[in-house]
Amino acid sequence: MKATAAFRIVGTRSAAHFTYHPTTLNTTQVQSSANINHPKLNMFQAIVQALDITLQKDPSAILFGEDVAFGGVFRCSMGLRDKYGESRVFNAPICEQGIAGFGIGAAVGGLTAVAEIQFADYIFPAFDQLVNEAAKYRYRSGNLFNCGGLTIRAPCSAVGHGAVYHSQSVEAFFAHCSGLKIVIPRGAYQAKGLLRACINTPDPCLFFEPKILYRTAEDIVPEEDYELPIGQAEIVRPGKDITLIGWGTQVHVLMDVAEALFAKDGTECEVIDLQTIVPWDVDTICDSVSKTGRALVSHEAQLTGGFGAEIAATIQTNCFLNLEAPIERVCGLDTPFPHVFEPFYMPTKWKVIEAIEKVLAF
């Protein structure tokens, strides 16, 4: 019943499960009037620009992965081999463990290594290298050695037809391992700034790119080099009635919900893009929940063991006396990612609206 009512609020349902909400830059985010009129870039173009700047500014930077020399399966390295040569932009064998291991060795040797795992679903053969080597290199050597120049990029999350091996969200697996930073952008502007920050940070980073946003996400992206802070969430939409927390594509689902509920009855949802999974911004989240008294966390990864559980536990510990209702989680189902049943698996706006109504009525 509530899902049907939500459908009437939002209007005609399209093929995509969300509407993209572009980033609006203010004057402090744009350094020159020329960039105010800069053409919009989609997310894969913004990533190409970030990698181009990296290779241009840092002569030690190398870019590699399966099909990377040809532009990548999602075109995120288009033209870079021709511009910088095959010694700096090159293909790797179809061996994710080897890609990660080579990247670790290159970073330990002093290079800036940016490796691409063609799909996040196939990062698991590299799990041992990333968890037991990259994450622990600095710690086990007593800070004598490190592989802080390593960034692993990987397309992640649902695209509408990816099924079991091309739709997974894997951030929670790596969040349990100290020593890795994990970042997930929600759009083109964030992708460029956060990727540049990952490449320049002195720690190994996993940069997961929601693949459905490669061409859906379109923002004004300044041409100059810029970074966005790792470990800082962003309040995308202020509100006073409930805090909605997400990352990647799911931020746009939450924005759809916030707009729909405000149009329906004036409910003011505060929407927060976590941006960084590790280290995550506890202060921004808890300050918001202390204000609103209610919280909902939503992510595409399955419910059990998802990173939303960590956020919910932290909110409960820090905001217990401010909570007016139990914390809700709206996530993927505890199944392998399905194909024809994807609409049932996804944490859609309809599921989120139903959960919010439950929280507000508590």
- The number of beta carbons lying within 10 Å of the beta carbon of residue 56 is 12
Distance CA 312, CA 326 (A): 9
For the question of residue 96 being annotated catalytic, the response is yes
Which 3 state secondary structure label does DSSP give 330? strand
Sheet holding 234-237, edge to edge: 234-237, 269-273, 242-246, 295-302, 328-332
Distance CA 242, CA 254 (A): 12
Let me know: does 198 contact 205? Beta carbons within 8 Å. Answer: yes
**Residue 233's closest CA among 171, 308, 286, 180?**
286
The answer to whether the peptide bond before residue 39 is cis (omega within 30 degrees of 0) is no
Let me know: does 174 contact 136? Beta carbons within 8 Å. Answer: no
Residue entry with tokens 């190398």: 62
* Of 17, 21, 133, 166, catalytic: 166
* Of 17, 66, 96, 300, catalytic: 96
Distance CA 302, CA 336 (A): 9
Distance CA 117, CA 48 (A): 16
- Measure the CA angle with vertex 327, ends 321 and 328; round to 5°: 170
Distance CA 332, CA 171 (A): 13
Question: 228-241 b/e with 16+ CB inside 10 Å = b?
Answer: bebbebbebbebeb
Distance CA 191, CA 74 (A): 14
Residue entry with tokens 């929940």: 289
Residue entry with tokens 């095959």: 86
Distance CA 179, CA 50 (A): 24
Active site residues: 96, 166
